[in-house]
């Protein structure tokens, strides 16, 4: 399991076994709920909310995973396996 500590706000990101990000509230360290997800730009942008604190955190995970997989698929097809 990878753990990344952000410089700003000491928000802790954890990658669970199934590949989803888990956000922990910088105030109370409770696991945050996914509030909004936007991959329309090909980037994995998410907003998480801690309901007790009403704390919102925006996360940019960069290029969305499905986009990477899609590109990899296209490249595999270009090579042509017959
Ligand atoms: Zn909180």
Chain centre distance of CA 49 = 14
Give the integer Cα–Cα distance in Å for 17 and 65.
15
* DSSP-based three-state secondary structure for 51: coil
CB 56 within 8 A of CB 11: no
Q: How much is the pTM?
A: 0.58
Q: What is the 43 CA–ligand 1 centroid distance (Å)?
A: 26
Q: Residues 5-60: pLDDT tens digits?
A: 554 444 556 665 566 667 889 899 999 999 999 988 888 888 999 999 999 989 88
Task: Using pLDDT thresholds of 50, 70 and 90, give the confidence band for residue 1.
Answer: very low
Q: What is the 60 CA–ligand 1 centroid distance (Å)?
A: 20
Predicted confidence at residue 59, as pLDDT, reads 85
Helix, strand and coil in the chain, % to nearest 5: 20, 45, 40
Predicted confidence at residue 74, as pLDDT, reads 84
Q: What is the 36 CA–ligand 1 centroid distance (Å)?
A: 17
H-helix segments, 12-64: none
Predicted confidence at residue 8, as pLDDT, reads 45
């Amino acid at each position: 399991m990878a753990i990344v500590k952000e410089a700003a706000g000491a928000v802790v990101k954890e990658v669970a076994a199934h590949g989803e990000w888990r956000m922990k509230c910088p105030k109370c360290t409770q696991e945050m709920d996914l509030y909004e997800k936007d991959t329309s730009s090909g980037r994995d942008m998410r907003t998480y909310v801690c309901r007790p604190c009403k704390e919102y955190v925006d996360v940019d995970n960069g290029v969305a995973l499905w986009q990477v997989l899609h590109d990899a698929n296209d490249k595999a097809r270009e090579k042509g396996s017959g």
